[in-house]
Amino acid sequence: MITVYTGQGKGKTTSAIGEAVFAYSEGKRVLMVQFLKGSTYSGELIGLNRLGIPLIQFGVGCRWSGMIRTGLKHCTGCGECFRENRNPEIALELVQQAFAFVLAQVEKKTYDVIILDEISHALNRGFLDLNQLRELLSAGSSLHLHWILTGRGMPAALESEVDNWWDLNALKHPFSEGIKSRRGIEY
């Protein structure tokens, strides 16, 4: 089973986490791997850790994450962490490490559900070949793995191979009214 959460709106990672929590509550072994994401103050990192669901990040984090996590500073949206994670000198190695890690987990048959969060960015920026991903997904399908892939601009070439394809787009959001991200809600 393969599920995709894509689109320009918010809620892709949150939707994947909802599926993860449900699967975990049913006794399934769940792993979340974040591609090109390394902010240690994110709500999903803290929440999944509290539940005992491993979340492994392969990305550059925010230099202010410790202060943001404790509430001493607010994320300004400067984008430094995003720019660093798109730098080919850094990102290519991080994506290959993430891919090798996931492949090893598949070979060990450790998990029932694997979330590849923000995988679309690795694909769209050429840090991961689409055929590599296809091979990984096929290997997992023989083990009855449930795959969840997230990220904006998921390559349409995958659509025919996917069981569930969600395109999330905002109709209305506080950001459009100038309201900053809220701790515990957006991060």
pLDDT digits over 94-141, tens only? 999 999 999 999 999 999 999 999 999 999 999 999 999 999 999 877
**Domains annotated on the chain, with CATH:** 2-169 (3.40.50.300)
E runs forming strands in 61-186: 113-117, 146-150, 164-167
Binning pLDDT at 50, 70 and 90, where does residue 151 land?
Answer: very high
Query: Does 187 score more than 70 pLDDT?
Result: no
* DSSP summary character for residue 128: S
Taken as a whole, the chain contains a residue count of 187
Report pTM. 0.88
Mean pLDDT to the nearest integer, 58-72: 77
Higher pLDDT, 74 or 30: 30
C-alpha to C-alpha distance for 75 and 87, rounded to whole angstroms: 21
Quote the percentage of the chain above a pLDDT of 90.
Answer: 59
The encoded tokens of residue 176 equal 């459009």
